[in-house]
A = this chain, B = another copy of it.
Amino acid sequence: MSENSKSQAALQRLKEIDREYHLLGHTAAILGWDQQTYMPEAAVHERADQLSLVSGLMHERITHPEIGEKLGALGVVFDVDPVPQVPEAFTGIDRAFLRELARQYRRSSKIPKRVVAELAKQTAIGHQVWAQARKGSDFFKFSGQLAVILDLVREVSSCLGFEDHPYDPLLDEFEPYMSSAEVTEVFTSLRRGLTKLLDKIKGSGKAVDTEFLNRDYDIEKQRSFGLQVLETLGFEFKRGRLDKSAHPFTTALGASDVRITTRYDSRFFPTAIFGTIHECGHGLYELGFDPTIRGTLLAEGASLGLHESQSRMMENMIGRSRAFWVHFYPELKRLFPDSLADVQLRRFYEGINGVAPSYIRVEADEVTYNLHILLRFELEKQLVSGDLAVNDLPEAWNAKMEQLLGLTPPDDARGVLQDVHWSGGMLGYFPTYTLGNLYAAQFFYVLKADVPEWSKQVEEGQFQTILAWLREKIHKHARVYPAGELCTRVTGQSLNPRYLLDYLEEKFGDIYGF
C-alpha cells in the first residue's frame, strides 16, 4: 500500500469508529428524549441502566486506543495543547474532522475511567441532594456534596492540563478553544455597559404593564399557536417534532430527526411561546447542518455559545421584535379574545419586553439576564481556583446580587441554590449563555445589513430569506470552524460586546423613552 492509500485507509477507519459513536449517541438521545416526554414513571431505574450501557459503549469507542494510534500515524499532534495540530496535507472537511476527533480523543483519554465513574456517581447523588436542599432552601445541606463534586471537577481540570487558569479546560468542554481570559475581557466590558443601561432604564421612571401576561390562556390553544409559529419560521415537521416536557430542550435523534419541547402555563403565556421559539432556533441550527457532514462528529454546534446564539436570536431579536408581533398578534388575539381584548399591540410589545431585576435567572429579561451569568462566571472561576471556599458561597452570591442587580435574595432557593448545573459538575457551562447573546447580536447586526428589508419581511410572516441567510452563513458549517473563527468569517471581527450593548440600547431606549 502506498503512504497515501495507507493514510486514506486510516482516515476511513477513524470515520467508521466515529459513525458508530454517533449512531450510539443518537440512540442515547432517543432514550433521553423518551425519558423526558412519554416514559412511564416506574421505568426510570431501568432507563438509567439502558443509558449507562449505551454511554459505556460510546466511551469504549471514543477512547479506543486505535484512534490514538491512527491519529499519530496521520501526524496529528494532540496531546499537548488543547488545539490539535493537523498536517497541512489534510484540508477542508477532513481537516476539521481530524481536529475535532483529536480534541475529543484527547479529552476522553486524558481523564481516567475512575474519575469519570466517580463523577457520574457523585453528580447523581449531587442532583438528589441539591433538589432536597433547594426544597428546604438550605445551602448547607448541599455544601458537603458540592465540595466533593468540586474536588473531582478540579481533578478533571488538572488531568487535562492548563497554562493559565484551571477554569480553562472546563470552559473548553462547552466552548471549545475559548480561554477564560478572553471571556473575562469581553464580560468586563459588557458589565460596564449593562450597568449603565440598567441605570438608564431605572432612571426613566417608566413602569411597563405586564398584568395581562397573567390572564387565562388555554393550553391547547397555546400549543396550536406554537405550531403555527414553528411552521412559519420554517421548522420542518417531516424532520422534527414539538412535544411537552418539564424542562424545554432540543435534541437530535438523527440528522433528520430533531425534536424540541416546551412547557405550558395557563396563567402565563410567555413560558410556552418564547420557549418554543427559543428551541426552534436550536432546532433550525441542527436541521441546517450540511448534508455532507451528517452523522459525523462535525454535525454538532460549533460550541454551546454558538448554539445558544441561534436560539437567542430567534427568541429575542426576532421573536420579541415589534415586527414579529405585527404579524402574529392578530392571530394571538383571535385565539384569546377575552384575555387580550383591551391590549393593543404597543402595550403587548412592551409587556413581553419589560425589564426588572429579579432573583431567578431563567425568568430574567434580556438586559438583566446577562448580569445573572456574569455573577455565576465570576464565582465559578473563584471556586475552581480555590479563591472562594464552598462554605462562603452563599454570602458571595448575595453580595454580588446586591452589587449587580441591587437585590438580596430572601433565601437560598431564590439565590445560590436556584440552578441545577453545579450539582451536575457542569462548571464552565454558564458563560455560554451570555456568549450566545453576544454572538447573536453580532450576527444579527450583519444579518440586518445583508437583509435590510428583514423587518418588513417579518411583519409579513416571511422568514425564508432570514432562514436562508442563517443556513448559508452559520447553520451549514456546524462544527467545521471553531466558534471564534466562524464569528470572524461571518462578521469580520472577533467577539465584541458592543453589538449586544447597541442592540439593547436601541430596543430599550425606544421602550423606556431615553
Interface residues of A (CB under 8 A from B): 20, 23-24, 26-27, 30-31, 34, 38-43, 45-47, 49-50, 53-54, 57, 236-241, 243, 253-257, 295
Q: Please determine whether A30 and B23 come into contact, CB atoms closer than 8 angstroms.
A: no
Q: Please determine whether A40 and B237 come into contact, CB atoms closer than 8 angstroms.
A: yes
- How far apart sit A40 and B26, CA to CA, in the bound complex (Å)? 14
Can you report 14 A-B residue pairs in the complex whose CB atoms are below 8 A from each other? Answer: A23-B49, A23-B50, A27-B27, A30-B50, A38-B243, A40-B257, A42-B238, A43-B256, A46-B255, A46-B295, A47-B254, A47-B257, A50-B254, A57-B57
CB closest residue in chain B, given A47: B254
How many copies make up the complex?
2
- How far apart sit A43 and B294, CA to CA, in the bound complex (Å)? 12
Q: Please determine whether A257 and B23 come into contact, CB atoms closer than 8 angstroms.
A: no
- How far apart sit A46 and B256, CA to CA, in the bound complex (Å)? 8
- How far apart sit A253 and B49, CA to CA, in the bound complex (Å)? 12
- By a CB distance below 8 angstroms, the chain B residues around A256 are 40, 42-43, 45-46
A216 to chain B, nearest CB (A): 23
At the interface, is chain A mostly helix, strand, loop or mixed?
A: helix
- How far apart sit A40 and B243, CA to CA, in the bound complex (Å)? 12
Q: A40-B239, A238-B42 are in contact. Are A53 and B20 (CB under 8 A)?
A: yes
- By a CB distance below 8 angstroms, the chain B residues around A39 are 253, 257
A231 to chain B, nearest CB (A): 14
- By a CB distance below 8 angstroms, the chain B residues around A240 are 40
A69 to chain B, nearest CB (A): 23
Q: Please determine whether B46 and A26 come into contact, CB atoms closer than 8 angstroms.
A: yes
Closest 4 A-B residue pairs measured CB to CB?
A43-B257, A46-B254, A42-B256, A42-B239
> Which of A34, A243, A254 has its CB near the most chain B CB atoms (within 10 A)?
A254
CB closest residue in chain B, given A243: B38
Q: Please determine whether B27 and A50 come into contact, CB atoms closer than 8 angstroms.
A: yes
- By a CB distance below 8 angstroms, the chain B residues around A42 are 236, 238-239, 256-257
CB closest residue in chain B, given A287: B42
